[in-house]
């Protein structure tokens, strides 16, 4: 069952406060869709025709929306985070394993930069491979010294409490009360002259292999956490989301990558080993779209390399739209689905 949201009045007051401050054979080939040409906008500037995090078309009046880098907000994903704010405005979300068998979200924003998002939590070593492909800046509460060193060595810029746009909601308990106004964060930085790379190999729904029927799916990260999805109304609904009512992520596709987990080399305050998701190499992939599932393989040469997907028949593309990526451990995790 979906977790009950907080009353609307509570959400509104909090927002105002913060603003003020199984499987079958899927080996059939897929064709590669050509990218639309760039278009001219006001002032003669060139605007890329699709968004890098969704593959969706860019309209001429959205040119100002590209005058900033990709922002990734690290969000808590436990009952203590309810209600999460801002997931409905994200272009893409990556769910990753953290200590204690729990998960944390990396919510990507580019085509639109909202106001308040959160609760904002700390980074992990896994985030280097997650955010590097699009040169994203990270919005975070901080990190362990070892993780900060890795993030800095990778050339990743991050913003935390004490910088413009951050505020605490005193109606919530710490550490689940830090929020960030992404519009304010974005106002302090500029994108530069390079468009972010496409995060996924975008394509068209008609290019997908047939796959098998899959109307429900459960991504089990550990014995303590499973994310449940159901295909309904043309999209995927997270049945155990912590998002505020009406602010859920609008998933068109759920992409599961089976990944290896290592040890980040330190313990959390409770004495749990902190895992590190390995995002270099290859593994099994499951693409859920349109109520069907296509099996494939993912590969990534370097931490900052784009993700490649394939089937036995050739390249696998992701239908343009909003994608939720599940980084499910190959050992200790599991993925099940039903027709």
Mean pLDDT of 10-21: 35
| pLDDT at residue 65, rounded to an integer | 62
The string of pLDDT tens digits covering residues 197-241 is 999 999 999 999 999 999 999 999 999 999 999 999 999 999 999
Q: Which of 31-40, 108-117, 295-304 has the lowest mean pLDDT?
A: 31-40
- Residues 227, 135, single domain; the answer is no
- Residues 144, 260, single domain; the answer is no
- The verdict on residue 213 lying in a domain is yes
Compare 210 and 7 and report the one with higher pLDDT. 210
- The verdict on residue 79 lying in a domain is yes
- Alpha helices, DSSP H, located in 101-204: 127-131, 145-153, 182-186
- The verdict on residue 231 lying in a domain is yes
Please check whether residue 120 is in contact with residue 141, taking contact to mean a CB–CB distance below 8 angstroms. yes
Please check whether residue 30 is in contact with residue 312, taking contact to mean a CB–CB distance below 8 angstroms. no
Please check whether residue 51 is in contact with residue 91, taking contact to mean a CB–CB distance below 8 angstroms. yes
| Structural domain boundaries enclosing 275 | 202-338
- Residues 181, 207, single domain; the answer is no
- Residues 163, 240, single domain; the answer is no
Taking the C-alpha atoms of residue 47 and residue 59, their distance in angstroms, rounded to an integer, is 9
**Domain's final residue, options 154, 186, 218:** 186
- The verdict on residue 306 lying in a domain is yes
pTM of the predicted structure, to 2 decimals:
0.85
**Domain's final residue, options 151, 186, 221:** 186
CATH number at residue 90: 3.50.90.10
- Residues 157, 114, single domain; the answer is yes
- The verdict on residue 32 lying in a domain is no
Q: Which of 15-19, 107-111, 211-215, 258-262 has the lowest mean pLDDT?
A: 15-19
Neighbours of 260 (CB within 10 A): 14
- Residues 177, 222, single domain; the answer is no
| E-state strands within 77-130 | 92-97, 103-109, 116-117
- The verdict on residue 77 lying in a domain is yes
Taking the C-alpha atoms of residue 18 and residue 193, their distance in angstroms, rounded to an integer, is 32
Mean pLDDT of 61-80: 84
- The verdict on residue 16 lying in a domain is no
The string of pLDDT tens digits covering residues 107-119 is 999 999 999 999 9
- Measured CA to CA in angstroms, residue 144 lies from 77, 150, 241 at distances of 19, 10, 27
Q: Which of 20-29, 107-116, 137-146, 185-194 has the lowest mean pLDDT?
A: 20-29
Please check whether residue 104 is in contact with residue 147, taking contact to mean a CB–CB distance below 8 angstroms. no
Total domains in the chain come to: 2
- Residues 148, 122, single domain; the answer is yes
The position carrying tokens 């203590």 is 80
């Amino acid at each position: 069952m979906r977790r009950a949201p907080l009353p609307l009045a509570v959400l509104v007051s909090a927002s105002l406060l913060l603003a003020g401050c199984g499987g079958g054979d899927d080996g059939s080939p897929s064709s590669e869709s050509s990218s639309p040409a760039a278009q001219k906008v006001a002032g003669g500037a060139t605007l890329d025709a699709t968004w890098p995090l969704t593959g969706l078309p860019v309209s001429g009046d959205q040119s100002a929306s590209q005058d900033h880098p990709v922002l990734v907000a690290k969000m808590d994903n436990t009952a203590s985070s309810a209600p999460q704010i801002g997931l409905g405005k994200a272009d893409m979300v990556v769910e990753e394993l953290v200590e204690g068998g729990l998960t944390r979200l990396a919510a990507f924003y580019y085509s639109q930069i909202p106001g308040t998002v959160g609760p904002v939590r700390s980074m992990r070593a896994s985030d280097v491979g997650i955010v590097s492909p699009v040169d994203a800046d990270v919005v975070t509460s901080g990190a362990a010294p070892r993780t900060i060193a890795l993030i800095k060595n990778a050339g990743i810029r991050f913003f935390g409490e004490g910088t413009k746009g951050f505020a605490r909601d005193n109606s919530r308990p710490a550490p689940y009360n830090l929020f960030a106004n992404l519009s304010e964060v974005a106002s302090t930085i500029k994108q530069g002259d390079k468009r972010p790379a496409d995060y996924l190999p975008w394509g068209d729904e008609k290019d997908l292999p047939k796959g098998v029927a899959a109307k429900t799916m459960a991504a089990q990260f550990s014995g303590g956490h499973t994310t449940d999805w159901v295909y309904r109304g043309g999209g995927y609904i997270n049945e155990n989301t912590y998002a505020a009512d009406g602010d859920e992520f609008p998933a068109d596709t759920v992409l599961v990558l089976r990944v290896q987990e290592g040890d980040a080399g330190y313990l959390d305050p409770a004495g749990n080993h902190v895992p590190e998701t390995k995002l270099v190499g290859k593994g099994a992939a499951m693409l859920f779209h349109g109520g069907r599932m296509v099996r494939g393989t993912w590969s990534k040469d370097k931490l900052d390399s784009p993700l490649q997907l394939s089937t036995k028949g050739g390249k696998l593309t992701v239908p343009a739209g909003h994608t939720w990526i599940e980084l499910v451990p190959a050992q200790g995790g599991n993925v099940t689905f039903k027709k």
